[in-house]
Amino acid sequence: MDSTQENLPAERRHVPVLLETSVELLVPALQEPGAVHVDATLGMGGHAAAVLHAAPAAHLVGIDRDPQALELARERLDHEGVGERATLVHATYDEIPEVLEELGLTGAHGVMMDLGLSSFQIDTSERGFSYSVDAPLDMRMDPSSDGPTAADLLAELPEAEIARILHDLGDERFAKRIARRIVEQRESAPLTRSSELVALLERAIPAASKASGGHPAKRTFQALRIAVNEELEILTTAIDAALDSLHVGGRIVVESYHSGEDRLVKNAFARRTRSTAPPGLPVELEEHKPSFTPLVRGALQADERERSGNPRAASVRLRALTRTRSAERAH
């Protein structure tokens, strides 16, 4: 990582993934004056700024759990001349309904979720997200929270739970072997810095497996970050909360970078886009019709040009829906 990245303005540090596609999908729902667009994972504001430029009648509600992200996004939006059309809120993205209610808004016309780690969090060395720079093993997206750090999890969790996290959240083949090494290590000196964990992983992972699949620490760091921030637990609630908050005609775009994330999004979307009519019913009643329709077939991926120019784009899966009817059911 280039440490000079930390001193660059947000628009030069962050390249949003599938930017044109996500904007094209969202903008048709944001044409009316006062249309509300919720960017639930604001980050440095790349997607949000592009949407505001493309939908001049819309107002942004930008949500992020990271106070530093909100500061950077505010700077970017002000610099691009759209800051007066933005309300930024410190919250997690499962709190969309509460945020809208506090602002006196009845719902949203557009929702964007760009999941996972943002570029600036990787670039901010002291946060401990990167395996390429030595830093305290923190990994909290909201450093002001009192939740456990990655170092806390490695020092306190049972060996079997560490192995489960690495396997389930990082697809790490050598999860049990790594967990055993971590527990052995902490008997004499707990792991507190990223460089210590990287050195342990270098020893634990067989040499033959290091030749492919990227840096040997990548999967473990990903798994710990997801666990520390309870990302999958929050996402489960957040997707349904976002869908419930959309007005009829509203649109949602979600970009995932991890198989577990995408599976949750896929399943939540599937529930909203299929009929609830009992099997064998000759005619589908209005109350059984799905309330959402897909805007894209399956999941979109970045093309080769974008993947080669933006490493984050390599694993992205984009899914999008539009709300076609209210969720009210006949009684």
- Residue 262 marked ligand-binding: no
Q: Would you tell me the crossing angle of helices 175-186 and 194-204 to the nearest 10 degrees?
A: 130
> Which letter does DSSP use for residue 34 in this model?
T
- Residue 93 marked ligand-binding: yes
Neighbours of 280 (CB within 10 A): 5
- Residue 121 marked ligand-binding: yes
Please say whether the beta carbons of 58 and 30 come within 8 A: yes
Identify the CA nearest to 62 among candidates 91, 82, 33, 21.
91
Helix, strand, or coil here: 78?
helix
The β-bridge partners of 292 are 323
Q: Which pair of structure tokens corresponds to residue 217?
A: 């620490």
Q: How many helices, marked H, and strands, marked E, lie in the chain?
A: 15, 7
Identify the CA nearest to 164 among candidates 138, 137, 144, 182.
182
Q: Is the dihedral of CA 256, 314, 294, 113 positive or negative?
A: positive
Task: List Cα–Cα distances, 133 to 28, 66, 125, 224, 310, in angstroms.
Answer: 42, 21, 6, 16, 20
- Residue 147 marked ligand-binding: no
- Residue 170 marked ligand-binding: no
Q: Which pair of structure tokens corresponds to residue 300?
A: 């979109």
Helices (H), the chain: 10-13, 19-26, 46-54, 67-79, 96-102, 119-123, 150-156, 159-170, 175-186, 194-204, 207-210, 218-228, 231-245, 259-273, 304-309
Task: List Cα–Cα distances, 42 to 94, 148, 227, 312, in angstroms.
Answer: 13, 23, 21, 16
307 contact partners, CB below 8 Å, separation of at least 6: 313, 314
Binding-site residues sit at: 45-47, 64, 93, 114, 121
Binding-site residues for S-adenosyl-L-methionine sit at: 45-47, 64, 93, 114, 121
